[in-house]
Amino acid sequence: MSSINMISIVMFFLGLFTLVSANTIKFQNLDSQPREICWYPPQGYPAIHSSVIKPFDSITVGLSGRQDDTFISGIGYQFHPINAGGGEAACVQPTIVGEITFQGYQGNTYYDISAVDNCCQNNGIHYFYPHNDASAPHSGCFNFPCGGVYIKPGDPQTKITTWDTDMIVLLWNN
pLDDT in tens, 16-30: 444 445 899 999 999
Q: Is the pLDDT of residue 65 over 70?
A: no
100-106 long-range contacts, Cβ below 8 Å, gap at least 24? 100/25, 100/71, 100/76, 100/128, 100/167, 101/74, 101/75, 101/76, 101/77, 102/23, 102/71, 102/73, 102/74, 102/165, 103/21, 103/23, 103/73, 103/74, 103/165, 104/73, 104/74, 104/76
**Which one of 2.60.110.10, 3.40.50.2020, 2.130.10.10, 1.10.1060.10 gives the CATH number of domain 23-173?**
2.60.110.10
The residues spanned by each domain of the chain are 23-173
User: What pLDDT is stored for residue 98 in this prediction?
Assistant: 96
State the chain's mean pLDDT as an integer. Answer: 84
Coil, strand or helix at 51: strand
